[in-house]
A and B are shown apart, each in its own frame.
Chain A
Amino acid sequence: SQQGEEDPQALSIQEGENATMNCSYKTSINNLQWYRQNSGRGLVHLILIRSNEREKHSGRLRVTLDTSKKSSSLLITASRAADTASYFCATDAGSNDYKLSFGAGTTVTVRA
């Protein structure tokens, strides 16, 4: 079953602007991850944030996690046309099988 829900479902921005998307989940988590999917392709891992972390950076990506609100946000700064993709959050409960529960995703379109 899907635990995460991304918001908004779709986002259109101008190149150079920042893109922010949110993810909410329902049950306690061990880790939260963000993935990117280009149209018709497999998913690519972007960043993992542990439940005891509040913020993490990787290049132009910034992820925050608020476990009290069961929510996370992904910020892409200075967006580029190549950032056009769908972005998914995924959570795991910490079991050894590392099963992930994915949200429905946010589709980001960066206009040149």
Chain B
Amino acid sequence: SQTIHQWPATLVQPVGSPLSLECTVEGTSNPNLYWYRQAAGRGLQLLFYSVGIGQISSEVPQNLSASRPQDRQFILSSKKLLLSDSGFYLCAWSGLAGLQFFGPGTRLTVL
């Protein structure tokens, strides 16, 4: 069966520090991968998606970047965090049916 992992679960970082969040998927090949951010009490905002290794599409201009170095690995990064980068970050994958399966999320607090 397929599983999706995200780490870390929580992160507290100072403004201006770098960021690296990792997401890995098991039990499937060539999935579409997605990074979302969720502000408190709000819906999900799609940040990046990837349909294959090295293929990244950005949905909104921002301080973040994404990379997909391997088929089932998706990384969200920043060189210098801003206060506005705080939020709940969710990784998801989808197969041919279009259903998305979400990881447990990373709660990022930038101080």
Chain A interfacial positions (CB closer than 8 Å to B): 2, 4, 30-31, 33, 35, 40-45, 48, 88, 90, 92, 96-105, 107
How many interface residues does B have (CB within 8 Å)?
A: 27
Contact at B103–A99, with CB atoms within 8 Å? no
Q: Which of B83-100 contact A (CB under 8 A)?
A: 88, 90, 92, 94, 97-100
Sample 14 A-B pairs with CB under 8 A, ordered by A number. A2-B45, A42-B102, A43-B102, A44-B102, A45-B99, A45-B101, A92-B98, A98-B98, A99-B46, A100-B34, A100-B100, A102-B43, A102-B45, A103-B43
Q: In the assembled complex, which residues on chain B have CB atoms less than 8 Å from the CB atom of A101?
A: 46
Q: Tell me, yes or no, whether B110 is within 8 Å of chain A by CB.
A: no
Q: Which of B51-110 contact A (CB under 8 A)?
A: 51, 57, 59, 88, 90, 92, 94, 97-105, 107
Docked pose: A99 CA to B46 CA in angstroms: 8
